[in-house]
Structure 1
Amino acid sequence: MIGLDTRQLKTLIVTPTLQALHLASPAAINLVTGTALAETRAAYVRQIGGGPALGLWQMEPATHDDCWTNFLNFPAQSHLATVCTRMRAPDLAATAQLVTNFRYACAMARIRFYRVREALPASTDAAGLSAYHKVHYNTAQGAADPAANVAFFAEAIAA
């Protein structure tokens, strides 16, 4: 399955979204773009085979809610919370927008990574970005294969 054009995903969705959050860096942009490729090939918005994960970034509703409950709802994060809230459409629940609203789903993926204490790998380190994704986004029990996914992060870097 061919998904969204990677260059368009990176330049028209990921980069401006991360810039709006003031969380854009070459490494963050490549990480978030590569994550969409690794999770869904930037082609699927529902988890294949069932399961709770939603959107291009395959965020589970529980993870989304945790980002809000244990991070964005604190005063120190009020700027990020305001930006994320403004990205949402008023007629849908926030978790539904992980499927329908690429900008909001992208922002929430970046928030998930932003909460990690470990520094981001170098922006051109496809293997490092893939390993970072596996450890900090997919989890040890998840299906992501960091060796196989290096190609997706390399694609994100090249876009």
Structure 2
Amino acid sequence: MGICLDELRRMVIRPTLKHLRAWSAGMEELLLGTAAQESQLGFHLKFGRRHGLGIYQIQPHTHRRIWDDYLIHHPALASKVRGLASQHDFLQHPHSELATNLRYATAIALLVYRAADIDIPDPGDIAGMARIWHRVFHHGPVATARDFELSYARLVSGAPATDSTPRYTEGARPYPPAEARNSPGARLPSHPQGQPLA
């Protein structure tokens, strides 16, 4: 399981798009679908020997092309994107930001689509999103637009609403109340063989 869908939407993708003045429901859904197809919503940040990184599996040469061929012509936008990157690590290891910085990776993924001058799809047009992803974002001969549709259906539109409260001890017996555990007459827990723990 990757990142919680609702949290990825509300805490990463939507605020990043709004920060860059690029929010639309269609672009939000396209980026969610891209993350679902490329990394199973963040389950993988690097697939074996593949060169892509992060939840969108952006390749270093694509990252470099966005800066060298697109952002160079949009200095105000470049400044906003650079503001999403870390201060020092970006200068030494710029591509690692794609794996470690969700908002920065989202901005670059947006710009991959924007640099291709796409028409933003309607939020319900999954087949249209799949075609755009396959034409602009997909690398290699293996995956198809149908794969995008299936990933979207399974991880985005088919995902249940979540209660994102952490459950660290799911299935475990709850502890007795603190006063029962710590009262002067409380018994020590037993060792598996029935002997009190020392």
TM-score if structure 2 supplies the norm length? 0.73
Q: 2:150 maps to what in 1?
A: 151
Q: Greater relative contact order (Cα 8 A, min sep 6): structure 1 or 2? A: 1
Q: How does 1:2-151 map to 2 (within 5 A)?
A: 2-42=1-41, 43-46=43-46, 48-74=47-73, 77-92=74-89, 93-139=93-139, 141-151=140-150
Q: 2:130, 2:103 → 1: CA distance? A: 22
Q: 2:103, 2:117 → 1: CA distance? A: 24
Q: 1:149, 1:7 → 2: CA distance? A: 19
Q: 2:176 maps to what in 1?
A: none
Q: How many residues align?
A: 154
Find the structure with the greater CA-based Rg: 2
TM-score if structure 1 supplies the norm length? 0.89
Identity of aligned residues (%): 25
Q: Give the partner amino acid of 1:90.
A: Q
Query: 1:38 touches 1:144 (CA, 8 Å); kept in 2?
Result: no
Offset, 1:102: 0.6
SS at match of 2:119: coil
List alignment gaps of at least 5 residues for structure 2.
Answer: 160-198
Q: Greater share of helix residues, 1 or 2?
A: 1
Q: Over residues 48-67 of structure 1, what are the superposed CA-to-partner deviations in whole Å (9 max), with x where a residue is unaligned?
A: 23121111100000000000
Q: Give the partner amino acid of 2:19.
A: A
Q: Give the partner amino acid of 1:27.
A: G
Identify which range, 143-152 or 24-33, moves more after superposition. 143-152
SS at match of 1:73: helix
Distance 1:158 1:111, change over 3 A: farther
Offset, 1:157: 5.3
List alignment gaps of at least 5 residues for structure 1.
Answer: none
Query: 1:45 touches 1:58 (CA, 8 Å); kept in 2?
Result: yes
Q: 1:88, 1:26 → 2: CA distance? A: 24
RMSD value, Cα: 1.6
Q: 2:142, 2:77 → 1: CA distance? A: 30
